[in-house]
Amino acid sequence: MPPTLPAFKAATEKLIRRFESDRDHYLSKGYSEAQSRVDFITPFFKPSGWDVENEAGLPHHSREVLVEAAEDIGGRPDYNSCLLATLWHSPFESASPPS
């Protein structure tokens, strides 16, 4: 099913409520980047229509999103949208622990 604005809005509001319910924990140094990807980042992108988990079963070169793709520009983006790469030069998203 294609993404809809109401579905995206509802999913985003759910993530906000989840964050607000345990804000101190999510902002603590003990909350890892990897866990933030599982708890918030992937669930944020999925209702947008991004196939972050490759549910379509596409081969590596045809996937919409590559997770933890190494780049020559230095650093490692956490999400590389191959789909958006055709529209924008740098379609990378990076997860970072709270500062």
Give domain status of residue 98, yes or no.
no
pLDDT tens, residue by residue, 52-81 = 888 999 998 788 777 765 445 555 556 666
pTM for the model stands at 0.66
Are residues 29 and 48 in contact, defined by beta-carbon separation less than 8 angstroms?
A: no
Tokens of 59: 């081969």
pLDDT tens, residue by residue, 17-39 = 999 999 999 999 999 888 988 89
- Strand-pairing partners, residue 80, are 66, 92
Are residues 35 and 19 in contact, defined by beta-carbon separation less than 8 angstroms?
A: no
Q: Where in the sequence is the domain holding 27, given as residue range(s)?
A: 5-93
Give domain status of residue 40, yes or no.
yes
Give domain status of residue 25, yes or no.
yes
Give domain status of residue 36, yes or no.
yes
Give domain status of residue 41, yes or no.
yes
Domain count, the chain: 1
Helix (H, G, I), strand (E, B) or coil at 29: coil
Give domain status of residue 80, yes or no.
yes
